[in-house]
Structures are given as C-alpha cells and as structure tokens.
Amino acid sequence: MRERVLDASVVLKWFARAEPGAAAAARIRAEFEAGDLTCMAASLLFFEILNVAGRGWGWDGVALAETAAAIDDLPFVIIEPPLAAIATWVAAGLTAYDAAYVAVAETTGTPLVTDDATTLRAAPHLTEPLT
C-alpha cells in the first residue's frame, strides 16, 4: 500500500470541488477511500480545513458541523512532528503550518503531496506536486 502525507492545499479540494487541482485531489481521495493509500498529516490539517471553510468560503454553522463530522470520519494517520523540525523549516522560509507537514514527511520518510508552490520550492526532495 502506498503512503503519502497530505497538506491542506490538497485535502481542502476534497470539500470544494471547483478549486484548481480538484480532479487530481479527487483521484487521491478515491485511492484513499479504496484502501490503496494511507494518508498521513499533522493534526492541524483539520483546523485548517474548518478555518478556510468558515472564514474563507463563508460556510455557515450547519455546513461547518457537517464538515467537522466528515473530517472526524477520515482515518488519517496523525503524526505530531518534533517542534525542532518545524523550526528548521520555518527558518527555511515556510510558515509554521506548512513546515509541520514537511516535518511529518521528513520524520516518516513519506512524500508530502502539496499544491503549495512555496512548499514545493523549499523542500523539493520531500514533496510531490499535486498532479
């Protein structure tokens, strides 16, 4: 079975299918739901999804509650990376949020799939573009 770390730039497309890259994200989700892919992430992934849905997309309380329930049902492997690893990636120019995903990839030796150009440039040896 394949393993990948996913960041919010990918998983958010599971909830907003009109986003650029949504078809590629849907292929990853289908592989995940079929049991052919193990997905890993830092726990902040779930906070980021709710934050973007509520503050960025303007979803109401009902839609956010449904999204929270859907997130709870995602059997992701949650890895909390060492703060020192996050600090190293922040020093390399990433936000602490993006650095957490890269640190998970680094800690587990699992590629990070991202649609974030800054993350792809900062850690090309640990990342794969969403395609």
| HEC secondary structure over the chain | CEEEEECHHHHHHHCCCCCCCHHHHHHHHHHHHCCCEEEEECCHHHHHHHHHHHHHCCCCHHHHHHHHHHHHCCCCEECCCCHHHHHHHHHCCCCHHHHHHHHHHHHHCCCEEECCHHHHHHCCCCEEECC
pLDDT confidence of residue 92: 96
pLDDT confidence of residue 15: 87
Summarize pLDDT for 23-66 with one digit per residue, the tens: 999 999 999 999 999 999 999 999 999 999 999 999 999 999 99
- Reply yes or no on whether the pLDDT at 3 is more than 90: yes
Summarize pLDDT for 95-109 with one digit per residue, the tens: 999 999 999 999 999
Number of domains, the chain: 1
pTM above 0.75, yes or no: yes
Q: What's the CATH code of the domain at 53? A: 3.40.50.1010
pLDDT confidence of residue 20: 85
Domain that holds residue 45: 2-129
Summarize pLDDT for 77-88 with one digit per residue, the tens: 999 999 999 999
